[in-house]
Amino acid sequence: MLRLTLFKKILVVTLLLSLLPLLFTSLILLSNLESVNTNLTTEIADTSDIQAAESLQMRAQSVAETISEFLRQCEGDLLYLARTPLDNQTLLNFYTTRRREVWERMGATEEIRKLTPLYRSIAYIDKNGQEQLVIREGIFLKPSELRNVSTPAGTEFKSEDYFRKTKELRYGEIYVSHLTGFHISKQEQLAGASEPENAYNGKTYNGVIRLGSPLFDKQGVFEGIVIISLDHQHLMEFTQHIDPGKNFSTIFPSYKSGNYAFLFDDEGWIITHPKYWDIRGLDRNGKEVPAYTEKTSQKDIDAGRVPYNLDKAGFIHKNYPVVASAVRMKKIGYVDITNVGGAKKIMSYAPILYNTGDYGKYGIFGGVTIGFQVDQFHDAARKGSRLIHRKLRDHRTLSALIIFCTALLAGFSAWALSRGITKPLQQLIIGARRLADGDTRSRVSVSASDELGELADTFNIMSNELEIRKTSLLSTMEELRRSRLEILNERNFKESVLESISSAIVTFSPKGLLTSINATGRKILGNKVAVDMHYRDVFANWIDMAQRTEQHLESRSNYGREPLNHDCGNGMTYFEVGFFPIGKDAEQGLTVTIRNETEKEKLREEMTRLDRLASLGKLSAGIAHEVRNPLTGISLLLDDLHDNAALANADQNMIKKALGEIERVERLISALLNYSSPPRSNFRVGDLNTVVNDTALLMRRQCERQKVYIVVSTGTLPPFRFDPEKIKQALMNIIRNALEAMPNGGEIRLSTTIDVDHVIIAISDNGPGINEKDLPLIFEPFFTRKGAGTGLGLSITQRIIEEHHGQISVKSSTETGTLFLLELPLMNGTEG
């Protein structure tokens, strides 16, 4: 960027003072001339636009009135035909006498005008919808070619319902359909040509407008309908040859020039246009081709499957829907639009008044539009503008010469003036640069006593003040830096302490919103918990934690710790929760602590169970020794008494039963002694699969007696240290329980698998299962639901597995039976 020194500024100011008046007057003159040029050009152009618009508007209105009259003539033809006896000769005469001139192209240079039948087809249809007489393009259809048009699918275009609508009319009423015909795509019309006006060999649009009237006999009974199909090319004749320019008419308009006319119906669909693919139409299945919208696929656009509906063409130009709406309100006018080439264009429009048949909704058949590029009207405006531009160029040349001479004189004067001012200021500039570089001790010495001298003194005072403030600011910044470091260290220390605590610590605002949470809190409450969540959302799945929190927030009392049991999805978990105020009377919120006490609770329960088992063992051993001695004496006495031949048989049987009960008591005592003082485990490296197979072999005969099938499935296991005899005892205890649960037969399955560092033995049966209430008690000593047994089998099994540092678990269902899982660790020693 150019740096303006004081010398340059004085020079510029002098030049401005000298040149501004001259420049100002020249600019005013130029502006006035430009304004005259613009106003004159605009006025001429606007006048031309208005004249063209009014002319096109009158022409559009004339065409609209002609079309209205034409449609009324078609109605008259239909009513005449409906009142005439219908036979071949009548239809043929009617067909041949209704003709209009058509001006069409026969090639690149040849064109003809010929009379063409007004109606493409005439049909007499009976009351059941069956065509009886049809003449189409001058030929009567054969009986095999006649259709039943009672349903839309049977019509020529596969979707017309003119039979139903005409049948519902009264005598003398007329049905008029919208334009119907198969859609012509862009490729079909162009057939290789670049523009529609050059497409001599392409397809033409063969559509019709159906006019129908019901037929009744003398008694007023419905006999059928008569349909005349107006050939679409006669509608094309109303707009195709319009040339809004000097030629007035043309055989085929140029779409690219923008000078053409088209018709649209009361629904906004274009029904005549130089581009046939813009005309509404049906596909070959009778389904209407969707209108061109901003959502139309590029594939359909390239293929030319884009009929226009003015109501949906607002994305092309906003005035298209405006024209359609104005025509429905029966208004005449014109709008400015822009054609494909980007040239400004006027489009006039006029409604075609008509209210018969489907056109009764708005009372119009549609609208006529005529477009013309307005720049062709602006020749006079362009000539005037060019003349004024030449005069302006001459004036600018003279003004530039005068301004240049004045600038030379003013420049010399400015140079002499600036030299007397800029030199004393040079010292101030040097001092200011030193000050900017940080040298606040720099001072300026100027001997002048004028305003420049005062400026130098002020500069020196400012330097002194900056030196003092700089020293103070540096001292303050150092203190702030130390304070910030202390605050950060204290905050980091507190965060580290909170994150290292094994309890969850969460804080809530007085409104109950979460303000902080440590890592343990996120682990317990879940990662979805976030700051600013309400405590009801934080504790949404926690029994009554939300109610407890609410109680302490509202009452602001009864703070302290309390127990909480909560099912976290993997069993009951025991927590100790604490509620403590933040600030006086919890004015700053509430702190909630949550500590997991599950391991402590399990350890307490395990210690209680071990104490109970130890006491039970001591008690059992004492009772067993005290009971066994007298029990042995009783057994011997009863045995001698049983051998006494003098006793009756009944007495001997009773004594025999008593001996059996004493024997059962001795077995119970033996079991108690074994439970209270189990033999020492003998761990050695062995093959667990061999033990499982041996156990199954030992129990197989007993299983077969009860019709129970035992199935063994062993996996590949490494040798490891365990006590084979005790594992066999544990398996036999579980199998015996399964046999007792299936007196009527069943199936027992044994399997072994390995899971990382554990071997798993699975024993399952398909028996009646274990009551859900009894599952927590099955490993308790002496617990049994059977009439016999000691209730020590599963308790002994659990102790054997625990001696192996393993785990035993059970799953049971009344539908699938019971499954025991025995997990034995491999860490006791493996051989590889």
Q: Model confidence at 646, in pLDDT bands (50, 70, 90)?
A: low
The predicted pLDDT at position 628 comes to 61
Q: Residue 820: pLDDT band by 50, 70, 90 thresholds?
A: very high
The pLDDT value given to residue 215: 94
The set of residues, in sequence order, having a beta carbon less than 8 Å from that of 506 and lying 6+ positions away, is 514, 516, 517, 518, 521, 525, 538, 591, 592, 594
Where exactly does CATH 3.30.450.20 map onto the chain?
Answer: 48-379, 501-596
Two tokens, residue 291: 């209108």
Residue scoring higher pLDDT (375 or 577): 577
- Model confidence band, residue 615 (pLDDT cutoffs 50, 70, 90): low
**C-alpha span between 589 and 580 (Å, rounded):** 9
**Predicted pLDDT at 156:** 92
Domain span(s) for CATH 1.10.287 in the chain: 603-674
pLDDT value at residue 205: 92
Q: Which of 39-53, 61-75, 616-630, 697-711 has the lowest mean pLDDT?
A: 616-630
Least confident of 209-213, 228-232, 495-499, 813-817: 495-499
- Nearest to 183, CA basis, from 287, 82, 257: 287
Confidence of residue 830 (pLDDT cuts 50, 70, 90): very low
Third-level CATH fold of 603-674: Helix Hairpins (1.10.287)
Lowest mean pLDDT among 212-216, 265-269, 278-282, 506-510: 506-510
Q: Does 500 have pLDDT greater than 60?
A: yes
Single-letter amino acid, residue 501: I
Q: What is the pLDDT of residue 125?
A: 96
**How far apart are the C-alpha atoms of 281 and 734, rounded to whole Å?**
84
Are 553 and 560 within 8 A, CB to CB? no
Residues 706-735 have pLDDT tens digits of 999 999 999 999 999 999 998 998 899 899
Mean pLDDT of 635-659: 69
Residue 108 has pLDDT above 60, yes or no: no
Q: What is the mean pLDDT of residues 326-335?
A: 93
Residue 27 has pLDDT above 80, yes or no: no
- Asked whether the predicted pLDDT for residue 97 surpasses 60, the reply is yes
Between 39 and 829, the higher pLDDT residue:
39
> Measuring CA to CA, how many Å separate 145 from each of 139, 141, 154, 159?
12, 6, 12, 18
* Pairwise pLDDT comparison (803 vs 110), residue with the higher score: 803
Categorize the per-residue pLDDT at 785 as very low, low, confident or very high, splitting at 50, 70 and 90. low
| Cα 140 to Cα 462: distance, rounded to the nearest angstrom | 112
Mean pLDDT for the stretch of residues 7-33: 72
Q: Is the pLDDT of residue 374 over 80?
A: no
> What was the pLDDT predicted at 329?
95
| Res. 490: pLDDT tops 80 | no
**Would the pLDDT of 832 be above 50?**
no
Q: Are 211 and 146 in contact (CB under 8 A)?
A: no
pLDDT at position 243: 80
* Helix axes 598-642 and 649-676, enclosed angle (nearest 10): 150
In this structure, which amino acid lies at residue 314?
G
The more confident residue out of 786 and 255 is 255
- Which residues belong to CATH 3.30.565.10 in the chain? 682-825
pLDDT at 527 over 70: yes
Query: How is domain 48-379 classified at the CATH fold level?
Result: Beta-Lactamase (3.30.450)
Least confident of 304-318, 575-589, 633-647, 748-762: 633-647
Q: In this structure, are residues 41 and 384 in contact, taking their beta carbons and an 8 Å threshold?
A: yes
The partner residues of 813 in beta bridges, in order of sequence, read: 817
pLDDT of residue 159: 93
* pLDDT score, position 829: 45
For position 822, what pLDDT does the model report? 93
- Give CB contacts under 8 A, 24+ apart, made by 190-199: 195/254, 195/255, 195/256, 196/252, 196/255, 196/274, 196/275, 196/276, 197/252, 197/253, 197/254, 197/255, 197/274
Query: Cα(566)–Cα(545) distance, rounded to whole angstroms?
Result: 10
pLDDT digits (tens, 9 = 90+) for 447-485: 666 776 777 777 777 777 777 887 888 888 888 888 888
Residue 528 confidence (pLDDT): 83
pLDDT at 751: 95
Q: Give residue 183's pLDDT.
A: 94
Alpha carbons 182 and 281: distance in angstroms, whole number: 5
CA atoms of 723 and 678, how far apart (whole Å): 13
Name which residue leads in pLDDT, 832 or 329: 329
Q: Are 808 and 818 in contact (CB under 8 A)?
A: no
User: Hey, which CATH number is domain 682-825, 2.40.30.20, 3.40.50.1220, 3.30.565.10, 1.10.10.10?
Assistant: 3.30.565.10
Tell me what percent of the residues of the chain surpass a pLDDT of 90.
34
Token pair 């010929």 is found at 114
445-448 contacts at long range (C-beta below 8 A, 24 or more positions apart): 448/424
Q: Give me the pLDDT at residue 743, please.
A: 86
Average pLDDT, the chain: 82
Q: What pLDDT was estimated at residue 377?
A: 58
- Residue 72 CA to residue 95 CA, distance in Å, equals 18
pLDDT at 212 over 60: yes
Across 526-549, average pLDDT: 83
Indicate whether 109 pLDDT > 60.
Answer: no
- Burial of 707 by CB count in 10 Å (0-12 exposed, 13-18 middle, 19+ buried)? exposed
pLDDT reported for residue 307: 94
Burial of 764 (0-12, 13-18, 19+ CB in 10 A): buried
| Top-confidence residue, 484 or 638 | 484
What's the rounded mean pLDDT across residues 691-714? 91
What is the model's pLDDT at position 831? 40
Per-residue pLDDT, 484: 84
Average pLDDT of span 624-639? 65
- pLDDT at position 596 is 78
The answer to whether the predicted template modeling score (pTM) of the entire model surpasses 0.85 is no
Q: Yes or no: is domain 501-596 CATH 3.30.450.20?
A: yes
pLDDT above 70 as % of the chain:
79
- pLDDT surpassing 60 at residue 341: no
